[in-house]
Structure 1
Amino acid sequence: MHAFHGTPLARTSRAHTLRRLAGGAVASLVVLSLTACQDGTGFKDGGEPSASASAGVATGGPATTSAAPSTVPSTAPATPTPKGSPAPSAPSGAGERVLCNGANTRVTVQPVPRPLNHMLITVKNTGSKTCDLTYHPVLRFDEMQWVPAARPETRPQAVVSLAPGESGYAGVLLSAADGSGEGATTGRRLTVAFQGRTPLSDGGASATPDLPAAGVSYDSSLTVTYWQRGSEDALAS
């Protein structure tokens, strides 16, 4: 920088001049700032909006609000039910499952030619709710004192559930094809019992389906399958 030349008096005069100029500049900034606040622009020094202006205090008018959209409810309100009209109801049986038994099904039995010495049990859901066929049927011919075993290899991966109108099946091996069974006899009356949620627990009312007029011959080989969804699966073994 160049050295300041001149007499002490000249230097003093120039310094006073500079101070006056600087003071005038500061005063101008203050006036501009006040004018900005008074004309409603609402900006402080540095260009930032003032809190008082955003609330409408600077101009004396009402507070300025942003035009934000109104909140939309996440779920539309339900349509009101006209007076005197019944409220809508859920479909019959929706969300409910019960046990299949003799009270809500129709049970039929039919000897079949193939496989040899077999009989097919058919259970049709006649109720209004979905029902579960648990485990396997428990059979009793007349006054039989023993319970036919269920073949474990026929157990399905899931419980057979029947919607209203649907059918489930079980196969019955009446006697051994090779004649190895003992105590051959003819059954005149058959009781089909249903199981509950645990093995051999009471599942409700039993069924007594009609047998052929000549009865059904069986021996000690008598076994049943677990409940199946298809008749082919019930007679496959």
Structure 2
Amino acid sequence: MRTIRSRTAAAAVAVVLAGLSLTACDGDAEAVSGAPSAAGSGAGASGGTGGEAGTSGKGERSGGGEATSGGKNGATGKTGGSGKTGGSGTDSGAANGSSDACTGASIKAVVTKVRRPVNHLLLKITNTGSRACNAYSAPLLGFDDDQSVTRIMEDSKPQAVVSVAPGSSAYASILLSSADGEGSHGRPARNLSVHFAPRNGSGSEGAPAKLTLPAGTHKDDNAAVTYWQTSASDALTY
């Protein structure tokens, strides 16, 4: 009788232990299956300060960046991993205020005759755009049907590139001929093409400006132009 009771008790204990083992396995399985959902939502909701910006879909700013990904990337977790919404932002050009080369499409150009120095013209460009542009190097000038650009006065090179804010101007002076009259191939000039140098200094950038020269303009082989300057007085010192 005692042996039968012992066997019965042992069987009952085995059943209880088996039940506990099944319960633990179910709990572990539930925890494992829940892990990807938690990681996905966490990655989508992160991004700097931004849990809510990753899921709201409103494109609000989060931290210092641009929260353009909103609801679009919240499910995939792109905002959390790349840091595009939380930190640096995606439009680096607008963020750091970088500017493009000035071209004929963004400026108004005017050329005038000056009394002093003699045989000089003053070229002025005014930024008519909504953002700053850079007047790189010197204007690349072509008189009438010239096949090559006008010589640049290297001693007029400024210490820094001239940045032209909206509504502001840059200047260059144009030497038409030497005062002693030693230049050759003198001739009247009627039209002027102004091309703009790019950042890398090779070729030209964008559309040129087309100008009609003041009446009575003459030039010879000594013609030259200065680098862009920040003021008319600086340009006319050469």
Q: What is the alpha-carbon root mean square deviation over aligned residues?
A: 2.7
Q: Distance in 1 between matches of 2:165 and 2:59?
A: 27
CA contact (8 A) 1:118 1:174 kept: yes
Give yes or no for contact 1:96–1:129 (8 Å, CA) kept in 2. no
Q: Write out aligned runs for 1:1-237 (5 A).
A: 95-212=97-214, 214-237=215-238
CA distance in 2, matches of 1:196, 1:181: 31
- The answer on whether the counterparts of 2:193 and 2:208 sit within 8 Å (CA) in structure 1 is yes
Q: Within 2, Cα distance between the matches of 1:126 and 1:210?
A: 20
Alpha-carbon deviations, 1:147-188, whole Å to 9, x = none?
Answer: 211111100111000110110000100000000101111111
Of Structure 1 and Structure 2, the greater helix share is in: 2
1:220 counterpart letter in structure 2: D
Task: State how far apart, in whole Å, the 2-side matches of 1:87 and 1:185 are.
Answer: 64
Structure 1: any 5+ residue segments left out of the alignment? 1-74
What percentage of residue pairs aligned between the two structures are identical?
41
How far is 1:98 from its partner?
Answer: 1.0
> Which amino acid is 1:177 matched to?
A
Supply the distance in 2 between the matched residues of 1:119 and 1:192 (Cα, whole angstroms).
13
Question: How far apart in 1 are the matches of 2:228 and 2:208?
Answer: 15
1:102: how far off? 0.2
- If the length of structure 1 is used for normalisation, what is the TM-score? 0.60
- Match for residue 45 of structure 1? none
**How high is the TM-score relative to the length of structure 2?**
0.60
Name the one with the larger strand percent: 2
Measured after TM superposition, the shift of residue 211 of structure 1 is 2.0
Greater gyration radius: 1
**Bigger CA drift: 215-224 or 113-122?**
215-224
AA in 2 matched with 1:128: S
The CA deviation at 1:145 is: 2.0
| Partner residue, 1:49 | none
1:197 Cα offset (Å): 1.2
Distance 2:113 2:59 in 1: 50
Give the match's secondary structure for 2:209: coil
Q: Return closer, same or farther for 1:232/1:98 CA change in 2, 3 Å cut-off.
A: same
Q: Report the counterpart of residue 66 of structure 1 in structure 2.
A: none
Equivalenced residue count is 157
Relative distance call for 1:233 and 1:192 in structure 2 (3 A) is: same
Letter matched to residue 227 of structure 1: W
